[in-house]
Structure 1
Amino acid sequence: MDLLLLSNSRTHGHGYLEHVRDEITEFLAGATELAFVPYALRDHDGYTATVADALRPLGVTVTGVHTAADPGAAIDAAPAVFVGGGNSFRLLKTLQHTGLVEAIGSRVRSGALRYMGASAGTNMACPTLRTTNDMPITEPASFAALGLVPFQINPHYVDPDPSSTHMGETREQRITEFLEDNDVPVLGIREGGLLRVRDRSARLGGVKGARLFTRDAEPREFVPGDDVSFLLSGTPRFDAPA
């Protein structure tokens, strides 16, 4: 498998995807066509145009799968796919409805399709969407996602701020709640961070690190460049079926 999983597609002071242009260039490795999945936002055409504008300087032609009579056929014809961010519940429901959970998952696992995700698109690479930050604005058939990696990711991870007067739960507390009911590692990737997976190798990249949360253990800190391939050998254990 060949995965580029971004915590975010926009970073302060940079244009859309501009902060990861080098990583995208390496990931595409000469491929000049990219299928884009815009289902996490309502405006599919506008979203696709934004991605096309961002990748045009790299010599990449972007086609939104929503324009195809058969989105699955569009995936079958593409060397790489980018699943964009937005609302994870809306995204997963549409992937299920269009049959793209199976179409994307099978081709990525076979090595025939390179997968890039950002935010909600990164959530889709996990076994489920249970560690998304999004509101359930719509209801998918199940929480089961693509399952390209055997652990969960929390994009846009924000560290607890000891000086904050906000009394709501921190991201760390939310993830701890998840681990009370699910024995599955959660990698919280900060803004500007990413995970690169190639075959059985996984390495953090970008400019920000990540925290790894596991049941009954203190969080572990990782920095860009760290090898986290050990996460690929686990078996997720959800206490309730996805």
Structure 2
Amino acid sequence: MYAVTPEHGVACEWAAPRAPGALHFRAARAEDAQDCAPLIFASGAREFGFFLGVPADSCIEFLAFAFASGFGRFSYRRHRVAVTDNGCIAAVLAVHDGRATGLDDPHLALMLLLFYGLRRTVRMLLRGLVLESELPAPEASQTLIAHCATHESLRGTGVFTALFVDALRAGAMNGVGGQQVVLDVLVSNTRAYALYRRLGFVELPRRSALSPRLPLELESLRMLFLERH
């Protein structure tokens, strides 16, 4: 989980950190695109930098475009948000049910093509295939939690924990047939790793070595949720 930088933050008045009790939680909406895109980028700035290969501002603009589309892995339909009492989005997460992600890759290719054009899209998709070796799509038996980020002014105040618990209570992660809840975290992101451990996630064994075509900083762990709060 990363903090979003001030220059890419939402257009809100952020003062002293607020406690989770000052928040409410809801499904994301298309009109949240400009506020959520910087947070989604911040949740995986290194991964997006490798995959898209463009400056941060361009990544964020693309994410806002894809978020508002209503389809695919970056769609507002996949996200839940924590909102402050003055209407600012404080945190976000995405929920990807592995039984409903079959069209994610074709939709992503379409979004990239519409936004970046054919030449850059081809290069992006090739890098995406490499990245997917480290961050695989969820299996049919899994629900993948992704794009976990909190505004920097609220880090360490329990906001993301509250959003995660709310998503559980709202049934956003409740699959049938024994769905597993999983997420990925960079090995270097010890702060997020510790948070996920506190939430009840445990590390799963690696299935393969890091691809030599990926930088070492993108080495990741997949974690499995064992406890429901």
Higher relative contact order (CA 8 A, sep 6+): 2
